[in-house]
Structure 1
Amino acid sequence: MKAKKQIAKLYAYKKNTTKEGLTGLYIAVSFNRKTKYLPLKIYWPASHFDFEKQQIIKRSGRDKEYSDNMLIITQAIGICNEIFVQYRLRDQEISMETFLEEYYQFNLKKDYITYMESIIEKRYRKKDISETTKKNHTNTLKKIKSFHPKLLPFSAVNVKVAAIF
């Protein structure tokens, strides 16, 4: 199978600068010269963005917001690259549609509670389950949340944890 070029990098539109002088940041994901822009929901001063190199610039020596945003940007690009690698290792091609589904559901794979909330809602919308079944599943999930209010990693779900419920 011929390897397809996949790239994820930071991008901002120079023309989309707000009246306040801010520009929205995106992750540009390219598959064989077809690009999709994923919004990061981060705005950065256009005066401190290098549009030629497509990178943010520190506003001062100890710019905490710069550091925080760089972490978010790096994490988003890392997720893209992890998805690319997973498909390459499986020797599978990935379409833009499949990539986008994997990207937006990436964090669901880490937290059982978030995953279950998503699955319950998705199955109900598709009419795979009834209103009563949705309520039953939601009540079970509430019980799980009472024991694990913040995060329940999949690695923590085992027979002992299941026996509690």
Structure 2
Amino acid sequence: MPEKKKSRHFTVVVRREFPMSAEDAYSAWTDPEIRRSVLAHGRYKNGVKEVSVSVGGLERYEDRWKNRLYGATTRRYLILRPAKMIVAQSETSVEGDMFDQHFVKQELLLFKTKDASCEIVASDQCISIEPSFVHSAEASLTETFDIFANML
């Protein structure tokens, strides 16, 4: 009898401080043009298909390598509380030569006032069917914050 695959569950938390108010940080994070620029950076540069930052709205982008589609991500916005929090669900499917992977993340972003700045706390609860590493999810959040900081 074949071995049944087990899912992997883990939580990643990344914090970053920005020299602006929580209102300004939230407005920039939810600005469709900034979101598109953040998503279009690097390997997704030609793959951003949709950006709608609204309750029920979607972000869709494709992962390509040498113009070969091998993965897609869809993020659905569930809750938006201006200058306070964003809750979204993200699903990524990646086709591989050895096996396919499917990741699901519940994403929570908190915008916290800290003196004259804003701390954004990103917390991702992740579920993966195939083995994955916590540092990969953490590196992805860190890269997103780095790109966002450069867009400001």
TM-score bin (small chain): under 0.3
- In the superposition, the TM-score normalised over structure 2's length comes to 0.25
Find the structure with the greater CA-based Rg: 1
Task: Report which structure shows greater RCO (CA 8 Å, sep ≥6).
Answer: 2
Q: Indicate the structure with greater strand content.
A: 2
